[in-house]
Chain A
């Protein structure tokens, strides 16, 4: 067991865990942030996607000892705002079915929009290739990402 200091959703947290423990389980079992999901444990399904300094990472295979940057989870994605544009778009397009994978989908999409605010379908497919949706909501996921992107571009007069 070792002590680790983590910044999660802007708050400093201290946990006493095995250095090997993946970030996923620190978030879920120790910090009780349940929005990040367990799906496979081998970084294949993306349900556990969080941001590390803004980049999408699979928290199920990332040991807590390797976490060097600020962690953002779905609970902290909107920051001080009400909803992140992607969250609003997910609701507008009625994306979720069972809903289990959607936090991971949104986190992957948010990392994409942070670097590419006008993604083509191919960009979305590439950025979300690591996120399974067993219910098959992919059609609406693409639409919702485009809608959220148009929010970013609204100021420039481009509604996408």
Chain B
């Protein structure tokens, strides 16, 4: 475990890190259940047009708010759109949103954390102060401030969610870098004259990767929830996008007439979040037993 990605280099009979991790993961029932659920959701998102014959946008006002039945298994919304179709297509939106927001945070936060931890000194001090300022805002508030500047839209909500979690990556990457920097192999790399950027990407990055993978998997769920929340407030996805948050926002307005538009999209959101969180916890147990990656 201490030697990081040794298995990449010595592909011998020796049991490597990844095989070990996979064994640990497989023993965890919750994690396996989460994985199966998540794969099902991804499958549904990709195969959406083949799973339902309805379009998520086609309105039939005549059928507005019709209860679940054989033709519309989850019923229809206030504009007569098939809820099942909108939920399946909504999975596409949510998975995309979660991955992009998490991706933004990784791409900005990890390099900053690596550099901050590797060089230390004044650069590190400034970086940590900036992170402190960012952390001085409760997440929702930071998102609101960003939305106020950029205006309500799905991509802006995605961006806001990404910015909100950047400090996590900076801190986790920095903390692991500080530990790895003192390893002999990093000293050797420096001694044979590797340039700093090469040492960072070739010797440090692979060895700080594990807690970051765990963090990213947990953040996938929190960013999806975050953006759905913003959409619910009218600041994320705009109509007629098929997105669970905005579907719930619509469902709330017709709560007295119909329960199904308020129940099914939320159920889809809950199941997705549960699945991703269970996978994330499983990965944490398998990859990061020391618990370096603490999500918020």
Q: Bound pair: A and B?
A: no
- B residues near A (Cβ < 8 Å) are none
